[in-house]
Amino acid sequence: MTIAIYPGSFDPITNGHLDIITRAAKLFEKLIIGVYDRPNKSLLFTTEERVEMVKQSVATLPRVEARVFSGLTVSFAREVKAQAIVRGLRMSADFEREFDLAMMHKELSPEIEIVCLMADLKYQFLSSSLLKEAAELGATVDGFVPKHVAIALRKKVK
């Protein structure tokens, strides 16, 4: 069975993430969304909230599941017996960061492939950070996240 992971903080999950997840799910027999519990950034949602939002978002996708992980991404990949790590690329700035991560992953775990999927044009600008900032300033973000995430976001930023 070909297994891939799609790691991230998902604070919160966006339609851009879901685009990558939906497309990656077609490429692999199993896709595990790895929700990183200790990212080196300020979080709006708890780990439990982020995992629940991801689970609700992927509930209709067969062979896709969400799990919490900590530590190295390649260690998580090995733990779940993944052959690939999926990453989404939005713009050229993402490429440099993702290239550096891919090279580090290959050094640490050469048997695991890195698969980068280009974001859909309508999501090129979308990031969780930008989304949270817009929501905190009163913008409606309903078109950028699943409905349950928009509701959770409104509650959180009030």
Tens-binned pLDDT, residue by residue, of the chain (158 aa): 899 999 999 999 999 999 999 999 999 999 999 999 987 788 999 999 999 999 999 999 999 999 999 999 999 999 999 999 999 998 776 788 888 888 888 888 999 999 999 999 999 888 899 999 999 999 999 999 999 999 999 999 88
Q: Is 90 a catalytic residue?
A: yes
Q: Is 109 a catalytic residue?
A: no
Residue in 50, 87, 128, 132 annotated catalytic: 128
Q: Is 155 a catalytic residue?
A: no
Q: What is the structure's pLDDT at 25?
A: 98
DSSP string over 12-80: T--HHHHHHHHHHHTTSSEEEEEEESS-SS--SS-HHHHHHHHHHHHTTSTTEEEEEE-S-HHHHHHHT
Q: What is the structure's pLDDT at 2?
A: 96
- As for how many domains the chain has, the answer is 1
Q: What is the structure's pLDDT at 38?
A: 83
Q: What is the structure's pLDDT at 23?
A: 97
Q: What is the structure's pLDDT at 40?
A: 78
Q: Is 70 a catalytic residue?
A: no
Residue in 90, 105, 109, 132 annotated catalytic: 90
Q: What is the structure's pLDDT at 60?
A: 96
Print the domain residue range for 37: 3-157
Secondary structure element (H or E) that encloses residue 7, with its range: strand 3-8
Distance CA(17)–CA(88), nearest Å, equals 8
Q: Domain containing 48 — which CATH number?
A: 3.40.50.620
pTM, 2 dp: 0.93
Residue in 9, 17, 50, 132 annotated catalytic: 17
Q: Model confidence over 120-143: pLDDT tens digits?
A: 999 988 889 999 999 999 999 999
